[in-house]
Structure 1
Amino acid sequence: MKRMRILAVLLIAVFGLIQCGKQGSPDNTLASSDSRATITQVSSFGTNPGSLAMYKYAPAGITAAAPLVVALHGCTQTASEYANNTDWNSLADKYKFYVVFAETNSSNNSSKCFNWFESGDIARGGGEALSIKQMVDKMKADYSIDASRVFVTGLSAGGFMTVAMAAAYPDVFAGAAVMAGGPYKCATSMTAAFSCMSPGVDKTPAQWGDLARSGYSGYSGSYPLISIWYGTTDGTVKPLNSTELVDQWTNVHGIDQTEDFTESVAGSSHKVYKNANGDALVEIWAIASMGHAITVDPGTGETQGGGTGSYSIDKNIYSSYWAAKFWGLDNSDKEAPVVNVTSPANGATITAGSTTLAASASDNAGVVKVEFYVDGVLKSTDTSAPYEATLDLTTIVNGSHSVKAIAYDAAGNTATDNDTAFTGGTYVDTVAPVLSNDKASGTYQMSVSPVISANEAATIYYTTDGSTPTVNSASGAAPLTLSFSADTTLKFFGKDPSGNASSVQTFSYVVEILPYTETASGTATEHYNAGRLDVNAYLAYGQEYGYMTAFILYHLKAEFGGTWVDEHDLPGYTPTPDTTVPTVNITAPTNGSTVSASVTVTAAASDNIGVAKVEFYVDGTLKATDTASPYEYVLDTTTLTNASHSIKAIAYDAANNTATDDDTSVTVDNTQQGTTTTVEFTSNSTDDGYVKASADGSGAAVGTYSTIAIGRGSDGKFNRAILSFDTSSLPDSATIVRAYIVVTASSVSGTPWANGNSMVIDLKTGNFGSASTTETTDWASAATASQAGSIDAFTSGTKQSSDLSAAGLSAISKTGKTQAKLRFLTNQTTTAYIFITQGTGAKLVVEYQ
C-alpha cells in the first residue's frame, strides 16, 4: 500500500511529496567507528505496522528488573550514528539499563524522518507509534524490564515522535526527553508541518494540553516526566516550539507555567517546573548559541560523554546524562526533605513592626537551604538550622498574607509547606501594577494569542473593539491569555488588590487568513506530473525557474480559483523592493603583484537575491563582463605598457544595485617574458597540523585531530593550521612569477567567515618553529611574509587561494621547506571553524621561469 509522504520536513529547507511503500531489514549488528555504539538488530518484534527497524543494546551484568530507554534518531541519520552521538550505551553500562534504537528508512520517508506529522503514525494503536511500542513489548518479553521505568528520547523528527509516544502511550513511558522537537499534534499535515517548525504555532496551555490528552482519550493515570532541550539559534525547529512544549506538558501535569527552579549551566539556561509537593515534572534546557542539534560534552568526567558529529555539538553539557538524571536513572538521591513552618502560627494577627519566619526541616542526606516566601515572593534564604528570617512588616500591606517555606537537599529534591497565613502589615500601597504583553502590535498569520502579565497580583480589564476599558469591562487575573482570529484593537489596564490602576495600553493586531490550503515543493516537471500544473503553466514556470530547480507551489482556496500558483501569483502579493547592494572583491591577482603574459582576473561576488553580472575594468576602461560564477576575465598583459595599472570590478544585481572594488593595482612586466613551468607541491602530512591557543596566544597546544582545524573551536580556543611543503626541487635560478595554495574542506561548524572575516596565509621560508613538525610555538611565530594571500569562504570541495603577493613569492624556499600558516584575521565570537584535509588535500602550486 502506498501513501503520500513529505519529501523532507526536518533538516532540509524544501518540502515535497513522494509515494512510498514500507519494507523491513535483515538481521545484522552495527558498529560505528566508535566501538561504544555497537548495537544489534532485532528482526522480529510484532506486526510492525510502521515498518521500522529495531536495534538493541543489552549491557552485561544486569541481574534484576532494569529500566529501558528508547532512542529515536533525527532525519538523514541512522540508529548507529545516533547511538554513537548520544552514547546511551555507556550510560547503560554505568547505570545498568537497556537501550532500544528505532530506525526508519527512505521508503517510509525520503529523508529518513520519523513521520511525526501524519495522524496515522502518531496515534495510539497504529503506524510508527505502534511499531515503537512493540519494540518495548519485545524487550519486556526477552528481558526483565522494570515496566515503571521505560523512557523515550529523540532528536528533531525523533524529538517530535518522542512527544507523540508520551501522549499516545503515557501508560508505557515514565519519561521523555525531547531534543529539538515540538508539541504533540503541532502538525497533522504537510502544510501544518511547515508552519509548525518555523515560525512555530502559538496556542494556550489548555489548548496544547487538550491535544496531548487526546493521544489517549479517557486515560486517567500519571503522565511522563518531560525534559525539553533546544538550541537558542535553531533555525530549523524554531525555539518557540520549546516554550509551547512547556505550555503543553505543564498543563497536562496540572501545574502552572512559572518555573520553580532556574540555574545557569556552562552558559546555558536550565529551568524546572514542579508540583505542589516539590516533584520536578517538566524541565527545559536552552543551549546558548546552538543550532539544530543535541549538545554533548566528550570526556571521561562523571557528567561527560557523547560524540560530536552531524547534529551533535560540543557545548560542554552532555544531554543524555542530564536527561537520565532527570528520570532518576543515575540512582541518585530522590528522597525529598520534610519542612514545616513553625512561625508565625497559622491564623495569627501580628501588630508589631516585624516578625520571625521560622521552619523546621530535615532530610535523609541533609538540608542545604530553606527559602521563605510571603505572598509568593522570596523574602529570605537560610542555609543552616535553625532555619529562620526576620520579616519587616512595614514593607507589606495590611491584610491577610500567605507564608511558604521550601526546603532543598543536595540532590535538588524539594519539599514545600504553604498552608500558613497571618494578618498584619503597615505598608500603604500606592504603586500601580506594571503590565506587559508578549505579543507586539503587528500582522499575524491565522491567529494571535497575547499573554498579559503583571509584576504583582492584578486583575486585567480589557476591550477588543477599540473602546476604553473600565472596571465594568471583561476581566481576568494576570497572567491573562487571549486569542484572536480576526483584526483586533486590544486595550487593557490592570488593578492591584489595593485599588491602584495602571494606565491603558493599546495593541493593534492584523490577522491574515491564508488564501491557500497546502503547499508542495518540486521541479516544474514534478509539479506537472503530479497534476498541479497544466501545459501552459508548466512551460511558464519551467522558463522562470528552470525545469530541474525545485520551487514551492501554493494550492489556492476555491474562492481564489483553486489552482496551484507560486508565491508571486498569490492574491495580494506585493514584491518587496530590493535595496540591498551586492558585495564584490577582486581575489586575483593580488594588490601590488607583478604580472606578465596572460593573467586571470577573478572576483568573488554575492547578493541577497543574486548577482546578475560582474564588469571588469583596467585603467577605467571596461574590458569584459561575466554573468555567471566564477566571475573571471583573462587579461592579456602584452596589450598594456610595462607599468602600474589599476583593476576594478563592479557587481550588479537584478535590481541594478551595484558594488565596486577598485583598490587593486598590478605591475605589468613583460621584459623577461618566456616559457613558464608550473609545479605542484603536496603538503607533508607528517609535518602538517594545527595549534590552538587563547586569543592572546596563551595556553597553546597542538591539536590532536587527523584533519586540520582553523577558527574558533567549541573550547573557545583559536586554531591555526600549519602546512609544510618541500620546495627544494625548485631550480636555484628559477624566477617565481605566480603561486597559490589549494585546500580541501572536510567539515565546517558555524560560519567562520561571518561579518566579513578573512582567512589569510602567512608564509615562512623554512619552519615556523625549531622543527618541521607542528609545535606550540608555531601559533605566534613570525612569518617571512605575513598575509601573503587569502582564501574566500567555502564549505565543501576544494578552494584556491588568491595569488600570493610578491613578498609571498620571495618567501618560497628553493633549497628546503616552505611552511604556510592559515588563520582567520579576526577572532570569532562564537564557535565557528573549518576542518581541512592534509597531504593530497593541500597543495602549493608554483609557476616559474
Structure 2
Amino acid sequence: MASLSDTLTNLSRMRAAGAASDVPDRLHDLTGFAPDPGNLRARLHVPTDLRPGAALVVALHGCTQNAAVYDHGTGWSTLADGEGFAVLFPEQRRANNANLCFNWFEDADITRIGGEAESIVAMIDAAVAAHAIDPARVFVTGLSAGGAMTAVLLATWPERFAAGAIIGGLPYGTAIGVRAALERMRGQPATAPRAIASSARIPRVAIWHGTADPTVVVANSDALVDQWRTVHALPVEPTERSGDANWSRRAWLDASGRPLVEEWRIAGMGHGVPVDGHSGIGAAGPFMLDVGLSSTLEIARGWGLTDAAARPATAPAASPTRPAAKLERMTPAPTPASGVQATIEKALRTAGLLR
C-alpha cells in the first residue's frame, strides 16, 4: 500500500504537471442543457458529416485538465472525424473543485439526482436531441477522477450507457468524504460500497490501469473488476486471457463471446491514459503516457466504433490476479485540524480533494 506521504506528494505533482496548457481546441460549447445541479460546462465535437443514428462518446478529463487538453491527449475527436461519431466532454469548473477534479467522493454529486452525475446526463440528452444520436449507442470513459465519475455514471444511470471504460479510476460508492477518498486512492480497502442502480440494461465495463500507478494504486482495478463482475453475476475466473510483456488482458464473456467485463493492465505504467505515439490518435504529455498501446483505439474497437489499427499480437497472459480487495466505508471525523492533520489538509486542498 502506498504511504500517505507518497500519495500527497503525487497529488502535488499532478497539480504541477497536469495544468492546462495551450493545445488546439477542437471543441465547441453545448449550451441550454438542463437541469445542471452540478454547475458543469459542456464541450462537444461533432464531425461535419455526422449521420442520424450515430454514436456518442462521453469523455471525462482528469484532475488539473480541461476538456481540450484531454481531447488532445486521447485523440477522441480525431478518431470521431474518421469514424463518424460525436464526442461530449463534460468539463469541471474551478468554482466546484480547485483542481478541476470531478467530485467522485462528494455525496451530493454521486447520486442519480441533484449533482454532477445528473448534469452530465442532461448534457447527453441535449446532444442526443440536437444531433439525432442513437440513445442506445452512448458510451462513457474517463481518467482518474474522470474515471471514478465514469463509474458513478455507470452505476447511477446504467440504462443510459451501452458500455464504459474506466482508466486509472476507482469503484463507485466506496468513498464519501476526503479522508475516505485518500484511503481508497492509496489502496486501503472499503467495506460498504453503495448499491448500483437496478436496471434491465447493465453496461459492459472495461477497466484500464498501470501496474506502477502511485496515485491511484492498482488495487482499485481489482476492486472495480470485483464490483462489476458481481453486478453481471460472473464467476471469479475470466473466460479468456491475453497479453505480452507490456500488457495483460482478462475478459469475462457472455454466451455470444462479447466481453461484459474486461481488465487491461499496462506493465510499469504510472498514472495516466495509455497512448501510442505512432497511431496518429492522441499525443503524449502529462498523464498521457506513450506505452505503444492506444487505449482510445482499443476502447473504440471494443465498442464497435472502429476497426482501425491492428490489436497488438497476443500471447499467453500473465499469472492470475489476486482477489479483489474487500470494500470498506470511511468518513471524515469532524475535528479541527492541527499539526500534521493541518499539513495533510493543506496538501489535499492543493490537490483539489478538499474544498
Report the TM range for the smaller structure's normalisation.
0.7 to 0.9
1:408 — aligned with what?
A: none
Residue 532 of structure 1 aligns with an amino acid whose one-letter code is P
Candidates 280, 285, 301, aligned match of 1:309: 285
Answer yes or no: is the 8 Å Cα contact 2:248–2:266 preserved in 1: yes
TM-score calculated relative to the size of structure 2 = 0.82
Candidates 169, 182, 186, aligned match of 1:194: 182
Structure 1 residues 147-201: Cα deviation after superposition (integer angstroms, max 9, x where no partner):
1110011100000000000011111111111010011112122221111111242
Answer yes or no: is the 8 Å Cα contact 1:10–1:113 preserved in 2: no
Evaluate the alpha carbon distance shift between residue 126 and residue 189 of structure 1 in structure 2; reply closer, same or farther with a 3 A threshold: same
1:51 — aligned with what?
A: 39
Evaluate the alpha carbon distance shift between residue 175 and residue 233 of structure 1 in structure 2; reply closer, same or farther with a 3 A threshold: same
% identity of equivalent residues = 37
Residue 11 of structure 2 aligns with an amino acid whose one-letter code is I
The aligned runs of 1:283-432 (5 Å cut-off) are: 283-300=262-279, 305-330=281-306
> How far apart are residue 10 of structure 1 and its match?
11
Answer yes or no: is the 8 Å Cα contact 1:226–1:283 preserved in 2: yes
Residue 44 of structure 2 aligns with an amino acid whose one-letter code is K
What SS is found at the alignment partner of 1:552? helix
> How far apart are residue 241 of structure 1 and its match?
0.4
Residue 326 of structure 1 aligns with an amino acid whose one-letter code is G
Candidates 121, 128, 131, aligned match of 1:140: 128
Between structure 1 and structure 2, the one with the greater Rg is 1
1:178 — aligned with what?
A: 166
The aligned runs of 1:723-738 (5 Å cut-off) are: none
Residue 34 of structure 2 aligns with an amino acid whose one-letter code is G
> How far apart are residue 137 of structure 1 and its match?
0.6
Pairing 1:107–2:95 present: yes
Query: In 2, Cα distance between the equivalents of 1:85 and 1:123?
Result: 29
Query: In 2, Cα distance between the equivalents of 1:180 and 1:255?
Result: 23
Query: In 2, Cα distance between the equivalents of 1:120 and 1:113?
Result: 15
Query: In 1, Cα distance between the equivalents of 2:162 and 2:10?
Result: 29
1:235 — aligned with what?
A: 214
Query: In 2, Cα distance between the equivalents of 1:325 and 1:12?
Result: 32
Pairing 1:552–2:344 present: yes
Candidates 92, 103, 110, aligned match of 2:80: 92
Answer yes or no: is the 8 Å Cα contact 2:185–2:220 preserved in 1: yes
What SS is found at the alignment partner of 1:152? strand
What SS is found at the alignment partner of 1:114? coil
Residue 306 of structure 1 aligns with an amino acid whose one-letter code is G
The aligned runs of 1:415-494 (5 Å cut-off) are: none
Residue 329 of structure 1 aligns with an amino acid whose one-letter code is L
2:225 — aligned with what?
A: 246
What SS is found at the alignment partner of 1:66? coil
Answer yes or no: is the 8 Å Cα contact 2:284–2:290 preserved in 1: yes
Query: In 2, Cα distance between the equivalents of 1:72 and 1:153?
Result: 6
Query: In 1, Cα distance between the equivalents of 2:8 and 2:131?
Result: 36
Residue 237 of structure 1 aligns with an amino acid whose one-letter code is V
Evaluate the alpha carbon distance shift between residue 10 and residue 74 of structure 1 in structure 2; reply closer, same or farther with a 3 A threshold: farther
1:281 — aligned with what?
A: 260
Residue 518 of structure 1 aligns with an amino acid whose one-letter code is P
Evaluate the alpha carbon distance shift between residue 142 and residue 74 of structure 1 in structure 2; reply closer, same or farther with a 3 A threshold: same
Candidates 256, 261, 266, aligned match of 2:240: 261
> How far apart are residue 331 of structure 1 and its match?
5.9
Unaligned runs of 5+ in 2: 1-6, 14-19, 309-313, 315-319, 346-355
> How far apart are residue 62 of structure 1 and its match?
1.8
> How far apart are residue 222 of structure 1 and its match?
1.8
What SS is found at the alignment partner of 1:153? strand
Answer yes or no: is the 8 Å Cα contact 1:246–1:257 preserved in 2: no
What SS is found at the alignment partner of 2:205? strand
Answer yes or no: is the 8 Å Cα contact 2:45–2:77 preserved in 1: yes
Evaluate the alpha carbon distance shift between residue 551 and residue 278 of structure 1 in structure 2; reply closer, same or farther with a 3 A threshold: same
Answer yes or no: is the 8 Å Cα contact 1:235–1:291 preserved in 2: yes
What SS is found at the alignment partner of 1:102? strand
Relative contact order higher in (CA < 8 Å, ≥ 6 apart) = 2
> How far apart are residue 232 of structure 1 and its match?
0.3
Candidates 90, 96, 110, aligned match of 1:122: 110
The structure richer in helix per residue is 2
1:660 — aligned with what?
A: none
Answer yes or no: is the 8 Å Cα contact 1:124–1:215 preserved in 2: no
1:270 — aligned with what?
A: 249
Answer yes or no: is the 8 Å Cα contact 1:32–1:84 preserved in 2: no
Query: In 2, Cα distance between the equivalents of 1:253 and 1:9?
Result: 35
Answer yes or no: is the 8 Å Cα contact 1:260–1:273 preserved in 2: yes
The aligned runs of 1:403-802 (5 Å cut-off) are: 518=332, 532=336, 541=339, 551-552=343-344
Pairing 1:62–2:50 present: yes
Answer yes or no: is the 8 Å Cα contact 1:266–1:316 preserved in 2: no
What's the C-alpha RMSD, in Å, of the aligned pairs? 3.1
What SS is found at the alignment partner of 2:38? coil
> How far apart are residue 266 of structure 1 and its match?
6.2
Query: In 2, Cα distance between the equivalents of 1:437 and 1:90?
Result: 35
What SS is found at the alignment partner of 1:161? helix
Answer yes or no: is the 8 Å Cα contact 1:159–1:178 preserved in 2: yes
Residue 159 of structure 2 aligns with an amino acid whose one-letter code is D
> How far apart are residue 438 of structure 1 and its match?
5.9
What SS is found at the alignment partner of 1:325? helix
Candidates 135, 138, 162, aligned match of 1:150: 138
Evaluate the alpha carbon distance shift between residue 97 and residue 193 of structure 1 in structure 2; reply closer, same or farther with a 3 A threshold: same
Count of residue pairs brought into register by the alignment: 322
Evaluate the alpha carbon distance shift between residue 44 and residue 517 of structure 1 in structure 2; reply closer, same or farther with a 3 A threshold: closer
The structure richer in strand per residue is 1
Answer yes or no: is the 8 Å Cα contact 2:276–2:293 preserved in 1: yes
Query: In 2, Cα distance between the equivalents of 1:271 and 1:155?
Result: 20
> How far apart are residue 202 of structure 1 and its match?
5.5
> How far apart are residue 63 of structure 1 and its match?
2.4
Answer yes or no: is the 8 Å Cα contact 1:74–1:155 preserved in 2: yes
> How far apart are residue 107 of structure 1 and its match?
1.1
Answer yes or no: is the 8 Å Cα contact 1:190–1:519 preserved in 2: no
Query: In 1, Cα distance between the equivalents of 2:290 and 2:274?
Result: 6
Candidates 34, 55, 62, aligned match of 1:74: 62
TM-score calculated relative to the size of structure 1 = 0.36
Answer yes or no: is the 8 Å Cα contact 1:10–1:156 preserved in 2: no
Query: In 1, Cα distance between the equivalents of 2:142 and 2:292?
Result: 19
Candidates 156, 175, 178, aligned match of 1:168: 156
1:12 — aligned with what?
A: 11
Query: In 1, Cα distance between the equivalents of 2:8 and 2:95?
Result: 15
Answer yes or no: is the 8 Å Cα contact 2:52–2:132 preserved in 1: yes
1:610 — aligned with what?
A: none
> How far apart are residue 43 of structure 1 and its match?
2.9
> How far apart are residue 243 of structure 1 and its match?
0.9
Structure 1 residues 9-61: Cα deviation after superposition (integer angstroms, max 9, x where no partner):
996159xxxxxxxxxxxxxxxx97554x5111123211211000000000011
Structure 1 residues 364-407: Cα deviation after superposition (integer angstroms, max 9, x where no partner):
xxxxxxxxxxxxxxxxxxxxxxxxxxxxxxxxxxxxxxxxxxxx
Query: In 2, Cα distance between the equivalents of 1:437 and 1:289?
Result: 16
What SS is found at the alignment partner of 2:332? strand
> How far apart are residue 233 of structure 1 and its match?
0.5
